[in-house]
Amino acid sequence: MTDMILLKEGEVVLKGLNKRSFEQKLTSNIRRRLKRFGPFTVTANQSVIYVEPQSPDCDVDGAFQALGQVFGVMTVTRAAACEKDPAAIARRAAEYLHDELAAARTFKVESRRGDKAFPMTSVQLSQYVGGELDDAFPDLVADMHHPELTVHLEVRDRAAYIHGTPVPGAGGLPVGTSGSAVSLLSGGIDSPVSTWMMAKRGVRILPVHFFSFPYTSELAKQKVLDLARLLVPWCGRMTVQVVPFTHIQEEIRDRCPEDYGTLIMRRMMMRLASAIAADNHCGAIVTGESLGQVASQTMEAMAATEDCADVPVLRPLVGMDKKEVIAVARHIGTFDTSILPYEDCCTVFTPRHPCTHPKLAKVREAEKNLDVEPLIAEALAGVEFVKIGY
């Protein structure tokens, strides 16, 4: 039997009567992610997903790395399978983990017996294999409390599996199990992180970017598409909708009070995002707002903005500080791209003295000079669709 990958399910195991549908979505996402690495079989049993290469040409290393970014997976482990015989298990453990066992000073064996017909208990199997490994590697010392290496044995329905220390997976819920949402994706640090966080909760993401050429450059748009590309291994394939926003911002500049400019701009974004959400059967809008971070992110300002949304507005970063957001951005690989010095539409026509605690009635009054519906229709007619794959 050959080298394979074991995936332990995360929150999926808690879903009770709905577990099967969550598990089916997770295995579907895994199969889709594995396609470019060769033919693999993917099967689920007892909250473990077995990924087995079907060809010597399969890129198992690439598959292992990719599966660590699949939401819904708690741990990822390279493992060796063998027949369910104690002596065979001990031999395979010594072969498969030879280098780790030779380098370690202390070890222990942990066993899990999913197949209750197996003739040994978990403790008996650990003791037996531990004794065999102790004989095979004389320099090793058993340590049940703080071992350098833990040898994991699992006896399942189909086979026995040997592996070393599991690697943490992405966690969360399988993408697609919590519906779909429009995510407002700018070129900053926050919005890619908020997008990632909602995908982790099982939301399928439709990114929307507001583009204000020539005030923002083609390089600024490319930066956003690069950020989307970095998110794809986590979120799955996406189509970025690039919304032309120049005319709207110019109209706001020319017709509305300056101190309300940013608020009215964000209200127009919410109207556009709501229309796109309705067209794509999305149940929410995701933003990268954090309470108090900038003038448009006070409670009053966020309430004035959300007034124009037809669906719930999700703000996963609302209670996080910048240091926490940056840590996530580094973890998911978007930080270095986010800090490239290209402007986005939010920095265009920034008011000198923005209103931080607006009254909703005054905001509505301030935007009355805008011909809202034609502006929204014009922007939606000019949307550019950019598909981002793996």
The CATH number covering residue 51 comes to 3.30.2130.30
Closest Cα to residue 101, out of 54, 57, 135?
A: 135
Nearest to 234 by CA among 388, 115, 373: 388
Choose among 227, 233, 207: nearest CA to 336.
Answer: 227
54 with 122, same domain: the answer is: yes
Task: Say whether both 156 and 60 belong to one domain.
Answer: yes
Q: Choose among 243, 276, 230: nearest CA to 389.
A: 230
Co-location of 370 and 306 in the same domain: yes
Last residue of a domain, one of 112, 142, 168: 168
Same domain, 155 and 196: no
Q: Within this chain, do residues 193 and 148 fall inside the same structural domain, yes or no?
A: no
Residues in the chain: 390
Report the Cα–Cα distance between both ends of the chain, in Å, rounded. 31
* Domain presence at residue 289: yes
Q: Kindly list the averaged pLDDT for each block of 10 residues, start to end, along the chain of length 390.
A: 85 90 96 96 90 92 96 96 94 95 96 92 96 95 95 90 93 97 96 98 98 93 97 97 97 95 96 98 97 90 96 98 97 96 76 89 95 98 95
Other beta carbons less than 10 A from residue 2's beta carbon: 11
Same domain, 217 and 101: no
Do 116 and 219 fall into the same domain? no
The β-bridge partners of 53 are 40
- Position 2 scores a pLDDT of 62
CATH number of the domain that residue 368 is part of = 3.40.50.620
* 96 and 219 co-located in one domain: no
**CA separation for the pair 175, 206 (Å, rounded):** 12
Residue 94 lies in a domain: yes
| Shared-domain flag, residues 200 and 78 | no
Whether residues 131 and 22 fall in one domain:
yes
From CA 88, how far away is CA 94, in angstroms rounded? 10
66 and 101 fall within a common domain: yes
Say if 349 falls within a structural domain: yes
Residue 174 lies in a domain: no
In a domain, 175, yes or no: no
Contacts of 99 (CB under 8 A, 6+ apart): none
Which pLDDT score is estimated for 152? Answer: 95
Residue 255 domain-assigned? yes
Claim to verify: residue 132 and residue 193 sit in the same structural domain: no
In a domain, 173, yes or no: no
Residue ending a domain, choose from 134, 168, 202: 168
- The token pair that represents 38 in the structure block: 């060769």
- Total number of domains in the chain: 2
Answer for the pair 204, 182: CB distance below 8 angstroms, yes or no. Answer: no
Answer with the one of 142, 168, 194 that is the final residue of a domain. Answer: 168
Range of the domain at 53: 3-168
Residues 6+ apart with CB under 8 A from 290: 190, 297, 315, 317, 318, 319, 320, 321, 322, 325
Tokens representing 208 are: 């929307």
Q: Confirm whether 202 is domain-assigned.
A: yes
